[in-house]
Amino acid sequence: MRYETLRISIEEKILTITIDREKQLNALNTQVIDELHQALKEAYGDEKVKGIIITGAGNKAFVAGADIKEFVGLNKEEAFRLAKKGQQLVFDFIESGSKPILAAINGFALGGGFELALACHFRVASANAQFGFPEVGLGIIPGYGGTQRLPQIVGKAKAMELVLTANRINAEEAKSLSLVSQVVLPEYLIETSKQWMSQVLSQSPEAISSAIKAINAFYKEDRDAGFNTEVEEFSTCFLTTNYTEGVDAFINKRKPQFK
């Protein structure tokens, strides 16, 4: 299948999916979500594919967030459907996938991009990578699983800090928090990511699949309640005047004036 927002390549059983919206810093929109789902679905069913790497086009951004322009005018119910669809089609689909998926993070991983990286089974970052959740500055919260997956890795206190302050962290701090497995120079990112994936693929594929399922199972008690709460609270933010102010300020490149 041909994709408009993705580039697909395969080498030595490793499928690389590149989100190809470089001018938009690879921001996630509904088309990217739909095409990512289809590409992953095909990869899961392809016996030639044993592992998957997700990265972004260019050297500035992995994914700099969701496409905020698609948020304009959404009501609560529409925002709920947007977040729920994204979680089901991509983020949960990655996390629960039977094949190992690595995020090769080349630059900004913000908002939905950070959430995409967190949904992958492990991560390698270039030295220029930055991570953060800017959502509260828009009058909303992460809606693709960020409030649930981040504390699983960094703990509740650090997750609260990162989400509530909207502060960014660099690649080395991300490594110190176990968010990424290795930090490398940008020119070595894909090569190093393939080395990591090759090491995984040298093991039993059935055992790898079982390990992913077993590790995920540790976090599944009350997991659905947590994700459902996130979707509910994300969409509730769309009822507020501060959401309207935050998105308008973002689009018009000014500082928001929250009340």
Q: Pick the catalytic residue: 35, 95, 115, 230?
A: 115
Has residue 176 been placed in a domain?
yes
Q: pLDDT tens, 167-207?
A: 999 999 999 999 999 999 999 999 999 999 999 999 999 99
Q: Is residue 207 part of a domain?
A: no
Q: Is 115 a catalytic residue?
A: yes
pLDDT at position 218 is: 84
pTM of the model: 0.92
Average pLDDT over residues 138-153: 96
What are the phi and psi torsion angles at 30 (to 5°)?
-65, -35
Per-residue pLDDT at 173 = 98
Confirm whether 226 is domain-assigned: no
Q: What pLDDT does 222 receive?
A: 76
- CATH number for the domain harbouring residue 172: 3.90.226.10
Residue 201 lies in a domain: no
Residue 44 covered by a domain: yes
- State the Cα–Cα distance between residues 189 and 18, nearest whole angstrom: 13
**Domain that includes residue 90, residue range:** 6-188
What pLDDT, in 10s, does the model give residues 20-58?
999 999 999 999 999 999 999 999 999 999 999 999 999
77 domain-assigned: yes
Residue 35, domain member (yes or no): yes
65 within a domain of the structure (yes/no): yes
- Of residues 35, 95, 135, 230, which has the active-site annotation? 135
pLDDT at 217: 86
**Is 35 part of the annotated catalytic residue set?**
no
Give the model's pLDDT for residue 60.
97
